Amino acid sequence: MASRNEAPYRPQDRQGVSEMLRGLEGNKGKGKGKGGFSCKKNTFDIDGSNFVDSWRMQDWDYKKQNLPTYARGLFTTNDSKGQPEIVVRGYDKFFNHGEVRETEWENIKRNTRGPYELSVKENGCIIFISGLEDQTLLVCSKHSTGYRQDTDVSHAKAGEDWVERHLKLVGKTRAELAIKLREMNATAVAELCDDEFEEHVLQYTPQAAGLYLHGINLNLPEFATYPHHLVDQFADDWGFKKTMYIVKDDIDEVKTFLEGIGETGHYDGRDTEGFVIRCQSKANSGEWHDWFFKYKFDEPYLMYRQWRECTKAVISGREPKYKKHKKVTEAYINFARKQLHGHPDLAKAYQANHGIIKMRDDFLASCGLEGSDIIRQEAEDGEVTNDNVDRDVVIVPAATIGCGKTTIALSLRSLFGWGHVQNDNITVQKGKPRAFANACCKELEERPAMVADRNNHQKRERKQLIEDISRTVPNAHFVCLNYVHDRSNYNSIRAATRERVLSRGDNHQTIQAGSKGPDAVIEIMEGFMHRFEPVDPESSPDDGFHMVIDIDPTASSRDNLEIVINRLYAEYPKLFAGQDMPSSEDMDAAIDAAMKDYTVDIKHEIKSRDNRGGKQQGMSRATGLNGQPNGKQKEPKVDYFAAQLSATRINAILDTVFRDAPPETARIYNALKQQRRIQADFHVTLIHRAASGEHTEYWHRLLDAHNEASAPTEQRTYTQPEPKLGMCKVGLERLVWDNRVMAFVVRLSPFEEGGVNFPSVNTTAHITVGTAAPNIKPVESNSLLARWLQQGSGASGIAELAIKGNVEVEGTVRGVLQKH
Ligand code: GTP
Ligand code: MG
């Protein structure tokens, strides 16, 4: 063992590496192999001539004995002689205090020695840097490198850019760094902290952004790492930023220090999640080796931090928000309000992080308790913290059609025996949302967790589900499976979900792409995407979720499944009690089965799916298929149904939008205006007679309502305008135009929360603003928007302008009669 003052060095250990690789290969994807773990191998093409393999194990597998290596972040390759070598080596996976046997304080005390280097747990993403034999500098994120199109690679790419900037500072080249690292047989480990690239919890100003070097590891199967002062020296030499750390020699001191920081969650003026402690241990082998553990703040510290946040909220006049320790926190807030009342100086100091501990201690003294007493008491009273939740977990997707909800649900069912209710299997005509919630509750009687398989794409659906289930199961824990729908990403989401749904064919209860034809299905899918309301955990109803797991609708269900399991496992360990974690092979198999073996046995029409509320409106279904009530509708016939808008309002909006635009942008609008080619009336077409065959249900629903409302009564004769069928909200999202036609792309939503929805069956709901000549029909907006969806604006000759702010206008839903 090298002294802590000199750099450790050992050359590649060919035999050790071969052995390690044999161990990894032997457990590749094969369920739990001989080694009792499983791993995934990915090969990356660096530059067409260099190939590296990345090895990845499941988090929980690192807790097992006798693994070929414990490196988290591991890349290997073959050198020019065909000999295997490690090119990138991350730290050994390290655990929280108390998380495993080895990190119980007694064992830490017994088995470790100082100096203990403590650093604040980093807050960006990890980047590995090393040198290949041919002087290529390799920059990797945890599991990726090279130029594949995925997010992890974009981390690696951002890392590359920063490396270049740092090297420039000290006038060195990539090749020089590669040669140096190779000479050291080491991997440089840095944290990429750059808000411009990706925002994390802590803020980094542009001056503070960059790569923070925090470690240098030898490229060996076993873990050997540089002492921190040598890492700093290397950072200075090569232009990297340095990380902050403190050194303590005595483990008791370390413990006291950490517990002290935990009290405020603050260190050096910044919020911290916890610390990483680096030292040496002689556990297992009896020989001193480099070893890390972490100290993440948990109870009662998390409770203290909650109190701190609540106090700050009170001071700044916000409503304090909290989910845990409800009773005691309520009492604390009352106490704090009293203290702060009439003491602006106290409030001001508190905002500057002074007096936090005093406020808390005064409160605890006033009730004669210590923090730990409260936690113990809560546990005895059955106050649920996520750590001991072992039942009543409801998994609620927020998604659109084809995101993979059912695939994930079926996989969770087969892996853990969890419940699953598909909204599409509920065929009751009345009170379907309630029936769905009831079916979910029923699953929880038998099973610890269940998936409420419905799109829940709007807030009112999420609200309904959370409220209805909580009424029957008051302790239910809601986990949102958030298929993130950023509008900027809609085209990729469209591509991914359409592909899946169209190739699924008829194997679905309501969306039968095979027999309905792609256009009809795409329109339904578009409806969901347009109505999608992003999950906002900060506000109602989404603040009812105990946890939100973000997943990417364009990623494979297999990858999403793994994220979901990992997150649930970390948050609700007891939910998995007694079950071994599935290997990656188990997960592959579960997804495979969900995709291949699953067939639906219920099929019915789409109703209440898209048009929930028709029934509540009392729209009876009295029309024949020819679109005429009982075959004898009076002339004239309805041509289309639309949401009509105030022309004054729309014109005012158009004027405002173009007033500040550059002349080139406003050119076509001004021309349309000058030539009086702007529409006199504005509307959003909901459905045209021509589409009634494809959307029979919707057409009939509206037609019935229209006929009912326009039947002559004593007060009403046919000479009056068409009756109002309802109201809706029309959000103006953007203006799109070419030199023939201009339209607003809009978003339709119910007029009030929980109100009736009036979707548009057009691929892109829109308002035609005007056309360039009388022979250009407004319907051309449809083809303009279709081209815009496919090609975007710019080169395609299409221009677009986003409408800033949340501009919404009221729409009046009416049938518009055919002109004679
Ligand atoms: P709806 O019930 O229609 O709203 O869809 P859903 O969100 O439940 O999606 P589902 O799980 O049914 O997935 C849609 C189709 O895509 C099914 O045919 C799946 O088998 C398939 N699918 C799901 N995940 C993947 C994936 O990762 N890759 C591929 N190629 N197909 C997938
Ligand atoms: Mg489904």
Mean of per-residue pLDDT scores for the chain:
84
- Continuous H helices in 553-598: 557-571, 584-596
Q: Tell me what the mean pLDDT of segment 2-26 comes to.
A: 87
Of 396, 498, 554, 595, best ligand 1 pocket probe by most atoms within 8 Å of the beta carbon: 595
Q: By alpha-carbon position, which residue is closest to atom 23 of ligand 1?
A: 404
Atom index in ligand 1 nearest the CA of residue 594 equals: 20
Backbone dihedral angles phi then psi of residue 401, each to the nearest 5 degrees = -65, 135
Q: What is the pTM of this model?
A: 0.56
β 808-817/112-120 pair status: unpaired
Is residue 422 within 6 Å of ligand 1 at its C-beta? no
pLDDT digits 0-9 by tens, 84-107: 999 999 999 999 888 888 999 999
Atom index in ligand 1 nearest the CA of residue 558 equals: 27
Position 533 confidence tier, pLDDT thresholds 50, 70, 90: very high
Question: Strands (DSSP E) along 121-209, which ranges?
Answer: 125-131, 137-140, 186-193
pLDDT, position 205: 55
Residue 713's CB: how many other CB atoms inside 10 A? Answer: 8
For the chain, percent of residues with pLDDT exceeding 70 = 87
Report the separation in Å between the CA atom of 594 and the middle of ligand 1, taken as the mean of its atom positions.
9
Q: Compute CA distances 388 → 9, 378, 380, 391, 545, whole Å.
A: 45, 12, 12, 9, 17
pLDDT digits 0-9 by tens, 372-412: 788 888 877 766 566 678 899 999 999 999 999 999 999 99
pLDDT, position 719: 40
By the 10 Å C-beta count (0-12 exposed, 13-18 middle, 19+ buried), 380 is classed as exposed
pLDDT, position 609: 35
Report the separation in Å between the CA atom of 460 and the middle of ligand 1, taken as the mean of its atom positions.
24
Chain length of the chain: 820
Residue 457's CB: how many other CB atoms inside 10 A? Answer: 24
Contact partners, residue 621, CB within 8 Å, separation at least 6: 700, 701, 704
Atom index in ligand 1 nearest the CA of residue 500 equals: 16
Report the separation in Å between the CA atom of 437 and the middle of ligand 2, taken as the mean of its atom positions.
16
Report the separation in Å between the CA atom of 453 and the middle of ligand 2, taken as the mean of its atom positions.
7
pLDDT, position 599: 66
Atom index in ligand 1 nearest the CA of residue 410 equals: 11
Residue 156's CB: how many other CB atoms inside 10 A? Answer: 25
Backbone dihedral angles phi then psi of residue 757, each to the nearest 5 degrees = -100, 135
pLDDT over 90 (residue 427)? no
What is d(CA 180, CA 188) in angstroms, rounded to the nearest whole number?
11
Q: Chain-centre distance of CA 129, in angstroms? A: 28
What is d(CA 248, CA 192) in angstroms, rounded to the nearest whole number?
27
By the 10 Å C-beta count (0-12 exposed, 13-18 middle, 19+ buried), 418 is classed as buried
Contact partners, residue 723, CB within 8 Å, separation at least 6: 706, 709, 710, 716, 814
Position 604 confidence tier, pLDDT thresholds 50, 70, 90: low
Q: Which of 193-197, 227-231, 273-277, 604-608 has the largest mean confidence?
A: 227-231
pLDDT digits 0-9 by tens, 669-680: 999 988 889 998
pLDDT, position 231: 95
Q: Compute CA distances 460 → 612, 686, 756, whole Å.
A: 12, 22, 11
pLDDT, position 209: 79
Q: Which two tokens stand for residue 198?
A: 């990706």
Position 43 confidence tier, pLDDT thresholds 50, 70, 90: confident
Report the separation in Å between the CA atom of 345 and the middle of ligand 2, taken as the mean of its atom positions.
57
What is d(CA 31, CA 774) in angstroms, rounded to the nearest whole number?
68
What is d(CA 758, CA 698) in angstroms, rounded to the nearest whole number?
9
Q: Does 14-296 carry CATH code 3.30.70.1230?
A: no
Q: Which two tokens stand for residue 85?
A: 């070598």
Is residue 556 within 6 Å of ligand 1 at its C-beta? yes
Is residue 500 within 6 Å of ligand 1 at its C-beta? yes
CB contact burial 116-131 (16+ within 10 A = b; e otherwise): bbbbbebbbbbbbbbb
Report the separation in Å between the CA atom of 574 and the middle of ligand 2, taken as the mean of its atom positions.
28
pLDDT, position 429: 78
Interhelix angle 251-264/301-315, rounded to 10 degrees, is 30
pLDDT, position 562: 92
pLDDT, position 338: 93
Q: By alpha-carbon position, which residue is closest to atom 25 of ligand 1?
A: 557
CATH number given to 397-612: 3.40.50
pLDDT over 50 (residue 265)? yes
β 477-483/393-398 pair status: parallel
Is residue 506 within 6 Å of ligand 1 at its C-beta? no
What is d(CA 92, CA 675) in angstroms, rounded to the nearest whole number?
72
What is d(CA 28, CA 588) in angstroms, rounded to the nearest whole number?
12
pLDDT, position 623: 31
Residue 264's CB: how many other CB atoms inside 10 A? Answer: 18
What is d(CA 361, CA 343) in angstroms, rounded to the nearest whole number?
18
Pick among 1.10.3720.10, 3.90.1740.10, 1.10.580.10, 1.10.1740.10: CATH of 638-710+717-817: 3.90.1740.10
One-character DSSP codes across 692-750: TTTTHHHHHHHHHHHHHHHS--SS--TTSPPPEEEEEEEEEEEEEE-SSEEEEEEEEEE
pLDDT, position 632: 36
pLDDT digits 0-9 by tens, 447-464: 999 999 999 999 999 999
The larger pLDDT score, comparing residue 3 to residue 286, is at: 286
* Contact by Cβ (8 Å): 814, 723: yes
Q: By alpha-carbon position, which residue is closest to atom 32 of ligand 1?
A: 500
Is residue 407 within 6 Å of ligand 1 at its C-beta? yes
Position 202 confidence tier, pLDDT thresholds 50, 70, 90: very low
pLDDT over 70 (residue 619)? no
pLDDT over 90 (residue 686)? yes
Q: Tell me what the mean pLDDT of segment 804-816 comes to.
A: 89
Is residue 481 within 6 Å of ligand 1 at its C-beta? no
Q: Chain-centre distance of CA 94, in angstroms? A: 25
Rg of the chain over Cα atoms, rounded to whole angstroms, equals 31
Position 2 confidence tier, pLDDT thresholds 50, 70, 90: very low
What is d(CA 83, CA 77) in angstroms, rounded to the nearest whole number?
8
Position 601 confidence tier, pLDDT thresholds 50, 70, 90: low
The larger pLDDT score, comparing residue 326 to residue 485, is at: 485
Q: Tell me what the mean pLDDT of segment 65-84 comes to.
A: 92
Is residue 551 within 6 Å of ligand 1 at its C-beta? no
Active site members: 121
What is d(CA 76, CA 85) in angstroms, rounded to the nearest whole number?
6
Of 395, 396, 406, best ligand 1 pocket probe by most atoms within 8 Å of the beta carbon: 406
Report the separation in Å between the CA atom of 747 and the middle of ligand 2, taken as the mean of its atom positions.
24
Amino acid in the structure at residue 348: K
What is d(CA 78, CA 782) in angstroms, rounded to the nearest whole number?
56
pLDDT, position 615: 34
Half-sphere exposure of 276 (CA within 13 A, CB side): 19
Is residue 555 within 6 Å of ligand 1 at its C-beta? no
CB contact burial 639-662 (16+ within 10 A = b; e otherwise): ebbbbbbeeeebeebbeebbeeee
pLDDT, position 138: 92
Backbone dihedral angles phi then psi of residue 360, each to the nearest 5 degrees = -70, -45
Position 32 confidence tier, pLDDT thresholds 50, 70, 90: low
Half-sphere exposure of 518 (CA within 13 A, CB side): 8
Is residue 527 within 6 Å of ligand 1 at its C-beta? no
- Residue owning tokens 């993130």: 484
Ligand nearest to the CA of 404: 1
What is the rounded end-to-end Cα distance, in angstroms, of the chain?
96
pLDDT digits 0-9 by tens, 292-309: 999 988 778 888 888 988
- Continuous H helices in 239-324: 251-264, 301-315
pLDDT digits 0-9 by tens, 509-531: 776 766 767 788 888 889 899 99
pLDDT over 50 (residue 76)? yes
Backbone dihedral angles phi then psi of residue 187, each to the nearest 5 degrees = -110, 130
One-character DSSP codes across 371-400: HHHHHHHHHHTT---GGG--S-EEEEEE--
Atom index in ligand 1 nearest the CA of residue 595 equals: 20
Report the separation in Å between the CA atom of 402 and the middle of ligand 2, taken as the mean of its atom positions.
7
Q: Tell me what the mean pLDDT of segment 296-324 comes to.
A: 85
* Contact by Cβ (8 Å): 124, 200: yes
Is residue 401 within 6 Å of ligand 1 at its C-beta? yes
What is d(CA 704, CA 770) in angstroms, rounded to the nearest whole number?
31
Is residue 399 within 6 Å of ligand 1 at its C-beta? yes
Position 629 confidence tier, pLDDT thresholds 50, 70, 90: very low
pLDDT over 90 (residue 332)? yes
pLDDT over 60 (residue 605)? no
pLDDT, position 34: 66
CA angle 506, 509, 511 (to 5 degrees): 60
What is d(CA 56, CA 766) in angstroms, rounded to the nearest whole number?
47
Q: Tell me what the mean pLDDT of segment 606-627 comes to.
A: 34
Specify which residues 210 forms β-bridges with. Answer: 193
pLDDT digits 0-9 by tens, 215-225: 999 999 999 99
The domain locations on the chain are 14-296, 301-381, 397-612, 638-710+717-817
pLDDT digits 0-9 by tens, 207-216: 677 899 999 9
* Contact by Cβ (8 Å): 719, 788: no
Position 369 confidence tier, pLDDT thresholds 50, 70, 90: confident
Is residue 303 within 6 Å of ligand 1 at its C-beta? no
Neighbours of ion ligand 2 (CB under 5 A): 406
By the 10 Å C-beta count (0-12 exposed, 13-18 middle, 19+ buried), 625 is classed as exposed
pLDDT, position 386: 66
pLDDT, position 201: 37
β 210-218/186-193 pair status: antiparallel
pLDDT, position 296: 86
